[in-house]
Structure 1
Amino acid sequence: MTPEFRSGFACFVGRPNAGKSTLTNAIVGQKVAITSSRPQTTRTTVRGIVHRPDVQLILVDTPGLHRPRTLLGERLNDLVRTTWAEVDVVAVCFPCDQKIGPGDRYLVAELAKVGRTTTLAVATKTDLADPQRVAEHLLDIAELGRETGTDWAEIVPVSATSGDQVDLLTDLLAQRMPPGPAFYPDGELTDAPEESIVAELVREAALEGVRDELPHSIAVVVEEMGLREDRPEDKPLLDIHAIVYVERDSQKGIVIGRKGARLKQVGADARRQIEAMLGTPAYLELRVKVAKDWQRNPKQLRRLGF
Structure 2
Amino acid sequence: MNGVSESTQEYRSGFACLVGRPNTGKSTLTNALVGRKVAIASARPQTTRHTVRGIVNRPEAQLVLVDTPGLHRPRTLLGERLNALVLTTLGEVDVVGVCLPANERIGPGDRFLAGEIAKVRRRPTVAIVTKADLVDRTAMSEQLLAVSKLADDTGITWDEIVPVSATSGFQINLLTDLLISQLPAGPQLYPEGELTDEPEEVLVAELVREAALEGVRDELPHSIAVVVEEMGLREDRPDDKPLLDVHANLYVERPSQKAIVIGTKGRRLVDVGTRARHQIEALLGTPVYLDLHVKVAKDWQRDPKQLRRLGF
| Fold-level similarity (TM above 0.5) | yes
For the aligned residues, what is the CA RMSD?
A: 1.0
1:224 to 2:221 alignment: no
Whether the aligned pair in 1 keeps the contact of 2:127 and 2:147 (CA below 8 Å) is: yes
Whether the aligned pair in 1 keeps the contact of 2:91 and 2:121 (CA below 8 Å) is: no
* Equivalent residue in structure 2 for 1:261, among 259, 262, 267: 267
Whether the aligned pair in 1 keeps the contact of 2:232 and 2:245 (CA below 8 Å) is: yes
Unaligned 5+ segments in structure 2 are: 1-5
SS at match of 1:50: strand
Residue 30 of structure 1 aligns with an amino acid whose one-letter code is R
Residue 181 of structure 1 aligns with an amino acid whose one-letter code is P
Residue 122 of structure 2 aligns with an amino acid whose one-letter code is R
Q: TM-score, normalised by structure 1?
A: 0.98
User: C-alpha displacement at 1:82, in angstroms?
Assistant: 0.4
* Equivalent residue in structure 1 for 2:254, among 218, 238, 248: 248
* Equivalent residue in structure 2 for 1:66, among 65, 72, 77: 72
Residue 128 of structure 2 aligns with an amino acid whose one-letter code is V
* Equivalent residue in structure 2 for 1:189, among 195, 198, 213: 195
* Equivalent residue in structure 2 for 1:139, among 140, 145, 156: 145
Whether the aligned pair in 2 keeps the contact of 1:207 and 1:215 (CA below 8 Å) is: no
Aligned to 1:23: 29
* Equivalent residue in structure 2 for 1:53, among 36, 59, 64: 59
Aligned to 2:116: 110
User: Percent identity over the alignment?
Assistant: 72
Residues 40-90 of structure 1 deviation map (CA, whole Å, 9 limit, x = unaligned):
000010000000111000000100011111100000000000001100000
Whether the aligned pair in 2 keeps the contact of 1:219 and 1:304 (CA below 8 Å) is: yes
SS at match of 1:144: helix
Whether the aligned pair in 2 keeps the contact of 1:55 and 1:174 (CA below 8 Å) is: yes
User: C-alpha displacement at 1:36, in angstroms?
Assistant: 0.3
Aligned to 1:88: 94
Residue 16 of structure 1 aligns with an amino acid whose one-letter code is P
Residues 130-176 of structure 1 deviation map (CA, whole Å, 9 limit, x = unaligned):
11111100000011111222221000000001000000000000111
SS at match of 2:10: coil
Residue 248 of structure 2 aligns with an amino acid whose one-letter code is A
Residue 119 of structure 1 aligns with an amino acid whose one-letter code is T
1:210 to 2:216 alignment: yes
SS at match of 1:86: coil
Change (3 A) 1:213 1:297: farther
Deviates more, 1:144-153 or 1:201-210: 144-153
CA distance in 1, matches of 2:60, 2:217: 46
Number of residue pairs the alignment of both structures matches = 306
SS at match of 2:56: strand
User: C-alpha displacement at 1:211, in angstroms?
Assistant: 3.9
Change (3 A) 1:190 1:215: farther
Aligned to 2:163: 157
SS at match of 1:10: strand
CA distance in 1, matches of 2:11, 2:269: 48
User: C-alpha displacement at 1:213, in angstroms?
Assistant: 5.4
CA distance in 2, matches of 1:165, 1:215: 35
Residues 189-219 of structure 1 deviation map (CA, whole Å, 9 limit, x = unaligned):
0000000000000000000011425242100
Q: TM-score, normalised by structure 2?
A: 0.96
Whether the aligned pair in 1 keeps the contact of 2:258 and 2:296 (CA below 8 Å) is: yes
